[in-house]
Chain A
Amino acid sequence: MARTGILIEIENNAVKETSFGVMTAAAGQEIYALVLGDDVSAVKEKLAEYGAAVIVSITAPGDVASSPDLQAQMIAAAVKEYNLETLLGTASATGKDLFARIAAIMDEALVSDCVQVNIADKTVKKSHFSGKTFATLKVNGSVLLCTIRPNSIEPVASPAAGELMNFSADVSDPGLIKIVEVKKDAGKKLDLTEAPVIITGGRAIKAAENYKMLEACAQKMGAAVGASRAAVDAGYAPHSMQVGQTGKTVSPRLYIACGVSGAVQHFAGMKTSKVIVAINEDKDAPIFSKCDYGIVGDIFDVVPVLTEKL
């Protein structure tokens, strides 16, 4: 059993679903759940349920929230303190950023966005060439650092002791960058890259307000809503919703493409989804040759029926 640290992501006082998948990736190891901040009361039970032998709350003086460099130093210090041989986290925007900073500080290897990790062998599997190939990589060095692609590992509960520990990291260097403000786009809920289900509207959506139809459907499935580049370029959706080569890479359990033709650049961002469904009025649309299930029909007829039947 190797001591494995998991960097836990917390939102609105709850552990993010994707963090449980990361804990499951370390099943069989002695799991140290690392939480930034001193309040773990709201999350400790869940972390124990998903296999945390130890829950470490990491604190440091100074303005931690505004300094990713300081956060990375705190985590690196915890890895040393507890002799963790592996550190895993979510390949979210925050996870990828923090892990790259931690890897640079510790001068250790990092593999980002893995879909499989073999802790004993120090090998990982990840996408190369936008989902066209998978590479198996061997990692040397003393600590294995990996972020895991959201939804690639199904969370499985596996109760453990969940012993609480407090670690006050002896670091105070605020680093070289400072977050001075966080702006929030109005009305955004679930994050695309982490959503287990995504419903996307392409150019066929025809107007920004028609995304409401997809949102209603998304709400029934606990899904996030995405857009194609054609829809973004036409001004129907903000760029933060774009899926594809120049947008987000997503890998949900279920991807439903509504009125999307199926361009390679769109597939580059969603190809590794588990199940892909397409709804398109053109029976010859290229997307039908590259997905799992297809419905030929007008999205404005089909989607409302789908919403009703879910």
Chain B
Amino acid sequence: MKICVCVKHVPDTAASIKLAGDKGFEDSEIKFVSNPYDEYGIEEAVSLVEKQGGEVVVVTVGKASAVTTIRSAMAMGAHRAILVKTDSQFLDSELTAKALKAVMDQDGKPDMIFTGKGSVDTESFQTQYRLAKLFGMPVVNEVSSLTIDDGKAIAQREAEGGKRQVIEMSLPCVIGATKGLNEPRYPKFPDIMKAKKKEIKEIEFSELGIDVSQGKVTIEKLESVPERSGAKMLVGSVDDQVTELVRILKEDEKVL
């Protein structure tokens, strides 16, 4: 079984984002990691291949520096990787999906594709659906449990109000992973060393023949959300504090 995992190289959620210009951010000093949800995809792919045989190929569209993220995915057990190089962190989802499809076609169509449920930088929540559409594959997102049996996948997905949908589809398919699916492994030192020798194929985005003018979403402005500057602390007895809080919430803030 050949499994492709789409892994995005994103700023660590603990990093503070400093703006640069009116629509960019300073990316040289902050830590970048695998998009956290994509790690559930890597883990699931690696453990499936450990059981059934095959290979796991990581596919990333990103800056040249994404190699660090790719190496960490390889340390978790992915066998090979393809990096499509672009210089924007804010590439339109449609173009990203087209690039992922193009390199997967070149490499040989996968039996399964994993993505994360969404990326934590642009929070677009759609690349997996577009990729599935381009391949004509079924897609389920926010999958927290998965069984593969006899060419069929059965996925559980969390819906509203504590409901869980059990969804059936046939392979090949696209699965958007989320927490609950598994516990991503922490690579051990020998795995990290081994990962350094694995193959990363690099391709320029411009070589894929995708018309970038087709991108429909462009960023116009990026602005910081002001941090809250410290709480107004309530004083007095518990009774006093709570009375004042309820008054504030009802009368000043009007949120109750």
Contacts and interface: CB of A to CB of B under 8 A. Distances in A.
Contact of B36 (A246, A254, A288): A246
Interface in B158-183: 158-170, 173, 179-180
A133 B120 CA distance: 12
Contact of A138 (B218, B228, B238): B218
A191 B161 contact: yes
A134 B156 CA distance: 32
B118 to A, nearest CB: 8
Contacts of A136: 219-223
Interface in B49-99: 90, 92-94
B256 A133 contact: no
A128 B23 CA distance: 11
A15 interface: no
B34 interface: no
A37 interface: no
A264 to B, nearest CB: 5
A139 B234 contact: no
Contacts of B146: none
B255 A254 contact: yes
B255 A93 contact: no
Contacts of A271: 225
A105 B161 CA distance: 27
8 contacts: A100-B125, A123-B220, A138-B217, A197-B255, A247-B179, A265-B14, A283-B233, A293-B233
Interface of B: 11, 13-14, 16-17, 19, 23, 25, 36, 90, 92-94, 118, 120-126, 128-130, 132-133, 136-142, 144, 154, 156-170, 173, 179-180, 216-225, 227-228, 230-234, 238-239, 241-243, 245-246, 248-249, 253, 255-256
Given A101-B129, A289-B231, A291-B228, A133 B19 contact: yes
Given A130-B13, A245-B120, A182 B163 contact: yes
A215 to B, nearest CB: 13
B249 A190 contact: no
Interface of A: 11, 92-94, 96-97, 100-101, 103-105, 107-113, 123, 126-141, 175-185, 188-191, 193-194, 197, 221, 238-240, 242, 245-247, 249, 253-254, 264-265, 268, 271-272, 274-278, 283, 288-297, 301-302, 305-306, 309-310
A291 B124 CA distance: 27
B161 A190 contact: yes
B136 to A, nearest CB: 8
Contact of B228 (A137, A183, A254, A276): A276
Contacts of B139: 176-177
Contacts of A134: 222-223, 225
B201 to A, nearest CB: 27
Given A109-B216, A132-B225, A177-B138, A189 B161 contact: yes
A306 B246 contact: yes
Given A126-B123, A138-B220, A197 B133 contact: no
Given A109-B217, A130-B13, A132-B17, A288 B162 contact: no
A271 B163 CA distance: 25
B99 to A, nearest CB: 16
* Most interface-central of A193, A292, A302 (chain B CB within 10 A): A292
Contact of A310 (B94, B126, B216, B246): B246
B225 A272 contact: yes
B239 A93 contact: no
Contacts of A294: 231-234
A194 B121 CA distance: 22
Contacts of B17: 129, 132-133
Given A181-B165, A221-B256, A297 B123 contact: no
Contact of A292 (B25, B142, B231): B231
B216 A141 contact: yes
B161 A128 contact: no
Contacts of A296: 233
B25 to A, nearest CB: 7
A100 B130 CA distance: 8
A309 B133 CA distance: 53
Give the top 7 A-B pairs by smallest Cβ distance, nearest first: A188-B162, A176-B138, A109-B216, A185-B162, A294-B231, A104-B133, A100-B129
A142 B41 CA distance: 34
B176 to A, nearest CB: 10
Nearest to B154: A180
A221 B231 CA distance: 22
A257 to B, nearest CB: 11
Given A108-B216, A184-B162, A305-B239, A127 B123 contact: yes
* Most interface-central of B118, B122, B132, B169 (chain A CB within 10 A): B122
